[in-house]
C-alpha cells in the first residue's frame, strides 16, 4: 500500500459489468448484499457494446436490405441502397447507448456503487482501481471476477487499421468491396454473412477442414450452400501467415497444402477464438488459481481457490456465451448469500445467426451415443411447415434427440428461420425433463414456426400428421 493511501472498505465487489457482472451485482443486491461494481469501459461489457447486440443489429440490417431488394411476394423496390454510416449511428445511438444506460440505471436502482476504472488485485482482500491518472485502494470481503474475454490476436495480424478484430468489423463505416475473415467459427460466419448480404466479396479462411465446428455437418452444409449462393469463398485447411497493409488495401498471405497464396481485401477480420481476461488482474497476488489456458479454476458454485472470491462467465472454462455468464452470475450471488445452490444445467443453448440461423441445445446424436445412451433421432423439415412456406423460407429443419425407451428429450438442433427462438422450447424441455409426449400434449399456436416443434415430437412418437 502506498503511504497515505487509505483503502476503502467494500463488502462485495464485482469486477466487470458484462452479462455476468451486472447480473451478479443486481442479484447479490436483491439478496441483501452491499455491492460495488467496477467497470473500466462501458456498462454491459462485450455483449452489449461490441458483441452480441451490435452483431444482432448488423445482421438484422443486412437481412432487411436483402429482403427489400428481393422482389418477392409481389413487393418490389427501386434503387435500394444501404448507408452503413447511418446504420452504425442507429446501432450506437438507438440500441447500444440505450442499453448501456439501461444497465447503469438498473445498477443504481439496486443501490450498487459504481466504480470506474481497471481493477488489480494486490492481495487476497485488496485491490487497486486505476482510472486514468487516478488510483484508489479498496479492501473487500468478497469478490466476483467477471472480466470476460477478448479476441485472440495471431502472429502477423496485429489488430490495427485494416486488420480488424470483431469489434472493428462491427464498427466499419463503409461496406468493404472485399472482406476476408480468418476463422470460420460462429463469429466469423456471422460477420461473413453480414457483409456478404451487404454485397461485399467475402472470403473465409479456415484452418480446420470445415467451418462452424460446433454444429453438425448437415446444418453447416446449409450455411455453406447460402454462402455459395452469395459468392462467398471458403478456403479450408489454410494457415494465415501475414497481413501487409497499404493505404488502399490489405494483402493476406496464407498457405494451403504448403503452397503460399495471397488475397487482397479492403479489410480482414481475425476471429479465431477468445482468450479470458485473467492475465492482467493480479490474480496471483490474490492467490486465485488459473489453469494453463488462463481460465480461473472454479467449483460447482463458481468459487475459486479462495473461499471468498468467485469467478463467472468467460473467465471460467466452458463456452464463452453471455447467457452462460448470466446463469453463473445468479448461482455465485446466491452462494455468497449463503444459499445451497449449484451450477446444475444440462441444456446450454447456442445460436449462430448465419444464413440460415443455426441453434443447438443438449446432446447431438453422437454426443448421446458417446455417453452410452440409446437414442432416437427425429427430423422434421421446414418444407412441410405452412408457416415456413408463407414466409417464403422453407430451408431448414428441427431435429430432436430422445431417449430410446422413455422419449425423454435429450437434445435438439434447429436450422432455418427462427431457429434461435425455437431452441428455447427445446432447452426448457430438456432442463425440465420433458418427454415427447409432454410436448405433444401442449398446444402450439398456429400459424407459427413453433408448431414445427409439435410436428417433430409427433414424428418421434411415430404419429406425424404433416409428413
Partner 1 sequence: MAYKLKMPAIKEGVRDSTNQSSIYIFRLPKVGEGIAEGKLVTWLVSVGDSITEDEAIVEVQNDKLLQEVPSPVSGILSKILVEAGNTAQIGDAIAEISVEGSVSLAKDKEVLATTSKIQLKSSSERSNPSVVAKRVLAMPSVRQYARDKSVELSIISGSGKHGHIIREDIDAFLSNPAKENAIQETSEVKKSSIAQHDVHEAYAVVETDKTTREKMSITRRAISRAMVNSKAHAVHVAIFDEVEVSKLITHLQRFKEIADNQDVKLTYLAYMTKALITVLRKYPVLNASIDEVTEEIVYRNYFNIGFAVDTQRGLYVPNIKDADRKGIFTIAKEITDLANKAHEGTLEPFEMRDGSTTITNVGNIGGKWFTPIINFPEVAIFGMGRIEKKPIVLEDDTLGIGSVLHLSMSFDHRIVDGAMAQRAMNELKRLLANPELLLMEG
The answer to whether residue 446 is catalytic is yes
Give the rounded distance of the alpha carbon of 253 from its chain centre. Answer: 29
Near partner 1 by CB under 8 A: residue from 70, 242, 346, 389: 346
Residue 308: CB minimum distance to partner 1, A: 6
**CB-based burial, 111-139: b 16+ in 10 Å, e otherwise:** ebbebebbbbbebbbbbbbeeeeeeebbe
Q: Is 431 in the site for partner 1 (CB under 8 A)?
A: yes
Between 127 and 272, CB nearer to partner 1 = 127
Q: Is 306 in the site for partner 1 (CB under 8 A)?
A: yes
Residue 311: CB minimum distance to partner 1, A: 11
Contact string (CB under 8 A) for partner 1, positions 352-391, x = contact: ----------------x--x-x------------------
Residues 435-454 interacting with partner 1 (rule: CB under 8 A): 435, 437-438
Between 261 and 405, CB nearer to partner 1 = 405
Query: What distance in Å separates the CA atoms of residue 286 and residue 126, rounded to the nearest whole number?
Result: 8
Residue 449 burial (C-beta neighbours within 10 Å; 0-12, 13-18, 19+):
buried
Between 259 and 307, CB nearer to partner 1 = 307
Residue 305: CB minimum distance to partner 1, A: 4
Between 245 and 403, CB nearer to partner 1 = 403
Give the rounded distance of the alpha carbon of 308 from its chain centre. Answer: 28
- Cell numbers at residue 383, please? 418444407
Q: Is 41 in the site for partner 1 (CB under 8 A)?
A: no
Overall residue count recorded for the chain in this entry: 467
Residue 17 · residue 312 · CB < 8 Å? no
Between 335 and 352, CB nearer to partner 1 = 335
Between 264 and 438, CB nearer to partner 1 = 438
Phi-psi region for residue 359, left (φ > 0), alpha (ψ -120 to 50) or beta?
A: beta
Near partner 1 by CB under 8 A: residue from 109, 342, 366, 446: 342
Residue 337: CB minimum distance to partner 1, A: 11
Between 208 and 371, CB nearer to partner 1 = 371
Pairing of the two strands 201-205 and 274-276: unpaired
Q: Which of 60, 64, 126, 446 is catalytic?
A: 446
- Cell numbers at residue 40, please? 473500466
Q: Is 11 in the site for partner 1 (CB under 8 A)?
A: no
Residue 182 · residue 159 · CB < 8 Å? no
Between 134 and 344, CB nearer to partner 1 = 344
Near partner 1 by CB under 8 A: residue from 84, 235, 352, 410: 410
Query: In 3D, which of 379, 451, 448 has the Cα closest to residue 415?
Result: 379
Residue 462: CB minimum distance to partner 1, A: 17
Residue 116: CB minimum distance to partner 1, A: 29
Residue 410: CB minimum distance to partner 1, A: 6
Q: Is 299 in the site for partner 1 (CB under 8 A)?
A: yes
- Applying CB under 8 A, the span of 57-65, 190-198, 306-314, 417-425 interacting with partner 1 comes to 306-314
Residue 362: CB minimum distance to partner 1, A: 10
- Applying CB under 8 A, the span of 127-135, 254-262, 269-277, 292-300 interacting with partner 1 comes to 292-300
Near partner 1 by CB under 8 A: residue from 115, 202, 408, 414: 408
Residue 61: CB minimum distance to partner 1, A: 36
- Applying CB under 8 A, the span of 245-253, 413-421, 432-440, 447-455 interacting with partner 1 comes to 432-440
Q: Strands of 163-164's sheet, edge to edge?
A: 163-164, 267-270, 178-182, 201-205, 233-235
Between 207 and 428, CB nearer to partner 1 = 428
Binding site for partner 1 (CB under 8 A): 289, 297, 299-301, 303-308, 336, 339-342, 344-346, 368, 371, 373, 403, 405-406, 408, 410, 431-433, 435, 437-438
Amino acid at each position: 500500500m502506498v503511504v497515505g493511501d487509505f483503502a476503502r472498505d467494500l463488502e462485495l465487489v464485482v469486477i466487470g459489468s458484462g452479462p455476468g457482472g451486472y447480473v451478479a451485482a443486481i442479484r447479490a443486491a436483491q439478496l441483501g448484499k452491499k455491492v460495488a461494481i467496477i467497470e473500466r469501459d462501458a456498462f454491459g461489457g462485450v455483449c452489449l457494446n461490441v458483441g452480441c447486440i451490435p452483431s444482432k443489429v448488423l445482421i438484422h440490417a443486412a437481412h432487411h436490405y436483402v429482403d427489400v431488394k428481393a422482389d418477392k411476394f409481389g413487393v418490389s423496390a427501386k434503387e435500394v441502397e444501404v448507408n452503413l454510416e447511418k446504420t452504425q449511428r442507429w446501432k450506437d445511438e438507438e440500441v447500444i447507448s440505450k442499453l448501456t444506460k439501461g444497465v447503469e440505471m438498473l445498477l443504481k436502482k439496486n443501490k450498487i456503487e459504481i466504480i470506474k476504472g481497471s481493477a488489480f488485485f494486490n492481495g487476497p482482500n485488496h485491490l487497486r482501481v486505476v482510472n486514468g491518472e487516478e488510483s484508489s485502494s479498496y479492501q473487500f470481503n468478497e469478490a466476483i471476477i467477471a472480466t470476460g474475454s477478448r479476441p485472440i490476436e495471431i502472429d502477423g495480424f496485429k489488430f490495427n487499421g485494416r486488420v480488424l478484430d470483431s469489434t472493428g468489423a462491427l464498427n466499419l463505416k463503409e461496406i468493404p468491396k472485399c472482406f476476408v475473415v480468418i476463422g470460420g467459427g460462429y463469429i466469423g460466419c456471422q460477420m461473413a454473412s453480414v457483409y456478404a448480404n451487404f454485397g461485399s466479396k467475402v472470403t473465409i479462411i479456415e484452418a480446420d477442414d470445415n467451418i462452424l465446428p460446433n454444429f453438425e455437418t448437415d446444418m453447416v452444409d446449409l450455411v455453406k450452400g447460402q454462402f455459395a449462393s452469395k459468392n462467398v469463398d471458403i478456403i479450408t485447411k489454410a494457415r494465415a501467415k501475414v497481413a501487409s497493409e497499404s493505404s488502399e488495401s490489405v494483402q493476406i498471405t496464407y498457405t494451403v497444402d504448403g503452397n503460399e497464396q495471397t488475397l487482397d481485401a479492403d479489410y480482414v477480420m481475425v476471429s479465431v477464438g477468445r482468450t479470458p481476461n485473467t492475465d492482467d488482474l493480479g490474480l496471483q497476488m490474490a492467490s486465485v488459481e488459473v489453469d494453463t489456458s488462463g481460465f480461473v479454476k472454479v467449483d460447482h458454485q463458481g468459487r475459486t481457490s479462495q473461499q471468498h472470491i468467485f469467478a463467472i462467465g468467460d473467465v471460467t472454462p466452458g463456452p464463452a456465451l453471455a447467457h452462460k455468464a448470466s446463469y453463473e452470475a445468479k448461482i455465485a450471488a446466491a452462494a455468497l448469500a449463503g444459499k445451497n445452490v449449484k451450477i446444475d444445467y444440462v441444456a446450454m443453448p447456442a445460436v449462430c445467426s448465419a444464413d440460415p440461423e443455426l441453434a443447438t441445445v443438449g446432446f447431438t446424436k453422437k454426443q448421446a451415443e458417446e455417453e452410452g445412451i440409446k437414442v432416437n433421432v427425429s427430423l422434421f423439415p421446414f418444407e412441410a411447415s405452412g408457416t415456413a412456406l408463407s414466409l417464403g423460407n422453407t430451408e431448414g429443419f428441427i431435429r430432436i434427440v430422445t431417449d430410446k425407451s422413455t422419449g425423454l428429450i435429450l437434445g435438439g438442433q434447429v436450422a432455418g428461420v427462427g431457429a434461435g427462438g425455437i431452441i428455447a422450447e427445446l432447452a426448457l424441455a430438456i432442463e425440465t425433463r420433458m418427454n415427447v409426449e409432454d410436448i405433444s400434449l401442449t398446444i402450439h399456436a398456429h400459424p407459427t414456426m413453433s408448431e414445427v416443434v409439435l410436428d417433430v415430437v409427433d414424428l418421434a412418437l411415430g404419429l406425424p400428421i404433416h409428413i
